[in-house]
Structure 1
Amino acid sequence: MLPIERCDQIEEHHPENCRHCGTHLEGDDPEPLRHQVIEIPPITPLVIEHRLHRLICPCCGTSTCAQLPAAVEPSRYGPRLSALVGLLSSAFPLSFGRTQALLDQLLSVEISRGAIATIRERLSACLQHPAAEALELARQQPVAYMDETGAPTGNADGGNPDGKRGWQWVMVTPLVTVFLQSLSRSAAAAMELLGHAFTGIVVSDRFSAYNHLPIDQRQLCWAHLIRDLTAIEQRPGASGEIGMALLALKRQLFEQWNYWKVGQINREQLRESCGPIRRQFETTLQRVVDLGCERGERTPWAQTVRTCRQLAQRQQALWTFLEKPGIEPTNNAAERALRQSVIHRKISHGVQSASGATCRSRLLTVTATLRQQGRDVWSFLEQAWIAQRLGGVMPSLAPDR
């Protein structure tokens, strides 16, 4: 139940007569039963018309028209409504058409798709500084969970031959989450997001774009690894046996990890219990690598050898989460963050321009970060809109400001 101070109205109900003998009753119950009803009143937009009068000077005959006060929004839609448009197209994956329909249905506000696009462009400009601030903060964090997904620019996956493929990158850190649009899925794009001075741990899959990082700065995602081990297990012969053995070791590893997560063992006990599992896992990988396969061989066994060889080359990065506190063994945080972008792309069929892609990245950065920090997204967007127009203090994505 909501606290008393959140109630807009309190109605007291007293019984009039005793339900047994009918005697008239008076007084108050110090602890009455409480029943709350939450309702939404009819919502109507506040429309303010500003009339700019033009007057003629009686002396010289010059006409002078009044100017809008600086505090008055020069466009048709005010800061809070404009912030709501940004909220609906980022925190909630709505297309332009659905945003139109929702505003009309719930708020009785008619707005064109062109107006929505214009509002998003202005919001993008408002969020340039907060997005840059978030990127700087992310590069200073001790750990970053990274992933990427296809994000076409110009509706490339909707039949437009002029569209560019494009990629949406994400970096999730303990303080902020940053999205960045890139035309490539390469090491250069990863460097653009991480920067050249990142000293923390990157948790990612085994994609080659991250191979420029020192091995002691990496944690390979075990969720991706499990898929590879499952594929090995499903192959015939020796591959299946190897896959079964590696998956069994994985289960033992995560059993110990879960014991630590719920506080049944401490970190030192976690390392001790996982030591034999690690040695057996690495020994199994090396045995497969030593058996090897012929160059150019395309058998199921050759696929198993190549996977084990890749893992053996970076096996140190499989165990960073055991050595350094604050590191998760998967990059599920990044995949969850990307899901919002993927859903929006499927609904709206991507963006049509580079500026649209930039707008999407900035809105997602601000929305995801504020949600991560438990802050009000709508209010932040409204404050950023006002600050950009009136030259005020831009709200910060740093949680302590």
Structure 2
Amino acid sequence: MAGTIVHDCWPPYLALEAVEHGLCNAHLLRELQAVIDHDREPWATDMKALLSDARTLAQMARDQGRPAVSLRHVRQIRQRFDACCDRAIKFHEGLPPLARPTTGKRGRPKRRAGHNLARRMRTHKAAVLLFFNDLNVPFTNNEAERDLRMTKVRQKVSGSFRTETGAENYCILRTVVETARKQSWDVLRALSTSPVQLIRDLNTFHQIQLDRVAG
């Protein structure tokens, strides 16, 4: 595997080498909202606003055809990010530790959810903000998850697949359908068009987009 992957920080994903890691900010926003709702920690509100501001700035840069967000905004977002993480970790380190379980379980003391989240975001700062530093990287991996959802429904709910060939054919058809939708093509026309012509159409579309940005 090569290139950039956007995921939810599951450790096996982080173990993948030769790829650039980005974290799905939709997952982080849900975790921040949980900290806001249940623990009322102010830093989480500030971090949620920061991610929203960074997303807006990145989209504005794309809409204006710029290759990157301005250096001034990059510095501001990074400084706010560091300040939020530092404030959160300082807050939690000042709290009394959580009681150890009475079962005699060994290991490090358990941390609160907000403490773990702040430490994870600080550790993986580059991955959290990759969408902001590289405009080709999406803010979330929601689109990929939506693309996979119908396949999982087919696998778990609709009787699964009886043969490997059937599974491969299903994946090919779903790939063509989802690609056609993303490119605003007519789905039936895409299914009835030869692969060679589809590739030509896709290359033409990309060239039009590049010419529009360059112009």
TM-score (norm 1): 0.40
Determine the C-alpha separation between the residues in 1 that align with 2:122 and 2:36: 18
Deviation at 1:288, TM superposition (A): 5.9
Q: CA deviation at 1:223?
A: 0.6
Q: In the aligned structure 1, how far is the partner of 2:19 from the partner of 2:134?
A: 10
Contact preservation (8 Å) 1:282, 1:315: no
Residue 201 of structure 1 corresponds to which residue in structure 2?
4
3-state DSSP of counterpart to 2:203: coil
Separation in 2 of the partners of 1:270 and 1:354? 50
Q: Which moved more, 1:335-344 or 1:285-294?
A: 285-294
* Alignment correspondent of 2:43: 245
Please give the per-residue CA displacement for 1:202-240, whole angstroms capped at 9, x wherever unaligned. Answer: 2221122321246981111111011222222344xxxx2
SS in 1 for 2:50: helix
String of CA shifts for 1:305-350, please: whole Å, max 9, x gaps. Answer: 3343333332221111222232222222213323443555576243
Please tell me whether Structure 1 or Structure 2 has the larger radius of gyration of its CA atoms: 1
Deviation at 1:297, TM superposition (A): 4.8
Alignment deviations for residues 337-368 of structure 1 (CA, whole Å, 9 cap, x no partner): 23443555576243333333222211111221
Determine if contact 1:219/1:319 at 8 Å carries over to the other structure: yes
Of 195, 210, 215, the residue aligned with 2:13 is 210
Q: Does 1:338 align with 2:154?
A: no
Q: With structure 2 as the length reference, what TM-score do the two structures score?
A: 0.67
Distance 1:248 1:318 in 2: 15
Q: Which amino acid aligns with 1:232?
A: V
Between Structure 1 and Structure 2, which shows a larger proportion of helix residues?
2
Q: What's the counterpart of residue 373 of structure 1?
A: 183
Output the aligned Cα RMSD. 3.5
Q: Which residue of structure 2 lines up, in the alignment, with residue 282 of structure 1? A: 85
Structure 2 CA distance for aligned equivalents of residues 221 and 308 of structure 1: 15
**Is 1:326–2:129 an aligned residue pair?**
no
Code of the aligned partner of 2:15: H
Structure 1 letter corresponding to 2:81: R
C-alpha separation between the residues in 2 aligned to 1:215 and 1:233?
A: 36
| 1:112-169 residue CA offsets vs partner (Å, 9 max, x unmatched) | xxxxxxxxxxxxxxxxxxxxxxxxxxxxxxxxxxxxxxxxxxxxxxxxxxxxxxxxxx
Corresponding residue of 1:232: 35
Same amino acid, percent of matched pairs: 21
Taking the aligned partners of 1:232 and 1:215, their CA distance within structure 2 comes to 33
Q: Structure 1 CA distance, aligned partners of 2:19 and 2:120?
A: 16
Give the distance between the partners of 1:260 and 1:313, measured in 2 at CA: 22
Q: Which amino acid aligns with 1:278?
A: F
